[in-house]
Amino acid sequence: MKKTLYPEVFENPAVTVDVLLFTVENNQLKIVLVKRAEEPFRDSWSIPGGFVKKGENLEEAAIRVLNEKTGVRDVYLEQLYTFGEPNRDPRARIITVSYFALIPSKHLKKPDGEKIIDIEYFPSNKLPPLAFDHKKIVEYAVERLKNKAGYSNIVYGLLPKKFRLSDLQKMYEVILGHQLDKRNFRKRMLSLGLLEPTGEKDLVGAHRPAQLYQFKKREVVFFDQ
Amino acid sequence: MKKTLYPEVFENPAVTVDVLLFTVENNQLKIVLVKRAEEPFRDSWSIPGGFVKKGENLEEAAIRVLNEKTGVRDVYLEQLYTFGEPNRDPRARIITVSYFALIPSKHLKKPDGEKIIDIEYFPSNKLPPLAFDHKKIVEYAVERLKNKAGYSNIVYGLLPKKFRLSDLQKMYEVILGHQLDKRNFRKRMLSLGLLEPTGEKDLVGAHRPAQLYQFKKREVVFFDQ
DNA sequence: TGAATAGTGTCTTTCAGACAATATGCC
DNA sequence: GGCATATTGTCTGAAAGACACTATTCA
């Protein structure tokens, strides 16, 4: 079979980016979903996503789409996986490159667009029915997040600049889904050398004040890469 | 800005799959490259790849393309990363989903197509000039392979059905780029429970014959997922 | 018996995990 | 003093890493 130099345009699939935006709120790992305003799957919840534009690369597209749909800026995004089953979208062939990110829950804003978009956090283990193959994508992302958490400072995105070690521990506990020993957790976190004490103390509450820490670097460091 | 329900077709990028096919030969980690017969980058070496067809999913496309270009079948493929810089191909917007695989070096065959395609193994640390952004893709894949090797039986694909432990060790040494202690290696590999002795012995050479082993399961198991 | 590779065990160090008492500040 | 949270160290078991000698076959 002869292959044409230029692929037939009509065969080109559309390419989207989907952003899995996680947060921790009320001791639960939650994910941001938006309600679809159009068919197919009108009124179903879905992962915020959008088409990749001509001049932008995939990460730029993810950043733009995230901002348009959720108002969120300045987050660390990591490419997750590319889903491309031929019939995952009933309208047309749409291949989606998924990204994930973690943000503090208060960072979410409703976008300023002309129409109000329904946007909401859902506990990652109590999802509503989702459009397309989005259930599978969310489950894949949750799995990856749990695996990555143990070897990274990925939770950086979830915390304010200065935080208590007990805040940090709580984030890990929620993501991993189980409790951690306080002494072992502190030992390990501090030995990684990613944190530094700010010298400031948290003076809230009728109890001993906690040292506030911050991450030395803004970049997320992965230890398995 | 109003978003159309259906993306403008002319904006759709082409989507390809590229397969990074590694082997170990002469104690070197090598990768399969094909010489381009057409512009752009005519006569440059490149990663075997091809366009995703309408009815197939990404992995099916990778399997097909791999077979068409290299004659290789029945390999374990793993999705690696999706590259989508807008100008990575001078002809048009082409987004590529990369996969990688490992095969015994003898499995490579020149394809039976109408024209002879130049296809060759290159040591992964001595690459010729590559077309497009393929250098970056290969380097990314080599890095991932090294990181994965320690936690998986991914080298399964590199060995014949029955093999000596010293063969297995050699594969790891070549991929990781450094030597391993024989006793510690055997201790760890056998304790993982993935291998079983076949009872057969390798009677080649003027020395004590080696026990031949095989993997219990055909599936590649990753310990970090 | 010499050459070549197969096969094996111990010690040490390191890391993860279990576990409980003291410290500090506010009321 | 009572309450609430912060902070700290030891022991144990498991796994990783350093390290050297014996076993088997063939020429």
pTM: 0.90
Residue A191 has, within 13 A of its CA and on its CB side, a CA count of 7
Is the Cβ pair A12, B7 closer than 8 Å?
Answer: no
Give residue B225's pLDDT: 32
The whole-angstrom separation of Cα A83 and Cα A79 is 12
User: Within an 8 Å CB–CB cutoff, is residue A90 touching chain B?
Assistant: no
Q: What is the mean pLDDT of residues B78-98?
A: 96
Nearest to A147 among B15, B58, B224 (CB): B224
Per DSSP, the three-state class of B21 is strand
- Residue A180 tokens read as 């951690």
- Residue A142 tokens read as 């949750």
DSSP A124: T
Which of A2, A5, A12, A34 is the mutation pick for testing B, counting most B CBs within 10 A?
Answer: A12
User: Whose CB is within 7 A of strand C?
Assistant: A 181-184, 188, 203, 205-209; B 164-166, 182-184, 186-187, 205-211
Nearest to A141 by CA among A39, A22, A51: A22
| Cβ contact B99:B78 at 8 Å | yes
**Could you report how far apart the first and last alpha carbons of chain B are, in Å?**
41
How high is the mean pLDDT of chain B? 88
* Nucleotide with C1' nearest the A205 CA: C26
Chain B CB contacts of A15 under 8 Å are 12-13, 15, 84, 95
Q: What is the mean pLDDT of residues A31-60?
A: 95
User: Which chain C nucleotides are covered by protein, judged by CB under 7 A?
Assistant: 2-10, 16-20, 23-27
The whole-angstrom separation of Cα B104 and Cα B72 is 10
**Complete DSSP assignment for B148-207:** HHTTB-GGGGGS-SSEEHHHHHHHHHHHHTS---HHHHHHHHHHTT-EEEEEEEE--SSS
* Nucleotide with C1' nearest the B207 CA: D25
In this structure, the dihedral spanned by the alpha carbons of residues B25, B28, B32 and B38, taken in order and rounded to 10 degrees, is -120
- Residue B195 tokens read as 């291998």
User: Within an 8 Å CB–CB cutoff, is residue B8 touching chain A?
Assistant: no
Residue nearest to nucleotide C27 (CA to C1'): A206
Is the pLDDT at A9 greater than 90? The verdict is: no
Give residue A56's pLDDT: 95
Of the candidate ranges A125-134, B62-71, B87-96, B110-119, the one whose mean pLDDT is the lowest: B110-119
User: pLDDT for B151-191, tens place per residue?
Assistant: 677 888 889 899 999 999 999 999 999 999 999 999 999 99
What burial letters (b/e) apply to B45-56, b meaning 16+ CB within 10 Å? bbbbbbbbeeeb
The whole-angstrom separation of Cα B159 and Cα B211 is 15
User: pLDDT for B77-86, tens place per residue?
Assistant: 999 999 999 9
Nearby residues of B51 by Cβ (< 8 Å), 6 or more positions away: A3, A7, A11, B14, B15, B16, B61
User: Which chain D nucleotides are covered by protein, judged by CB under 7 A?
Assistant: 2-10, 16-20, 23-27
User: Within an 8 Å CB–CB cutoff, is residue B92 touching chain A?
Assistant: yes
User: pLDDT for A133-192, tens place per residue?
Assistant: 999 999 999 999 998 887 677 888 889 899 999 999 999 999 999 999 999 999 999 998
To which residue do tokens 């491309």 refer?
Answer: A84
Is the pLDDT at B109 greater than 60? The verdict is: yes
Given pLDDT bands bounded at 50, 70 and 90, which one contains residue A4?
A: very low
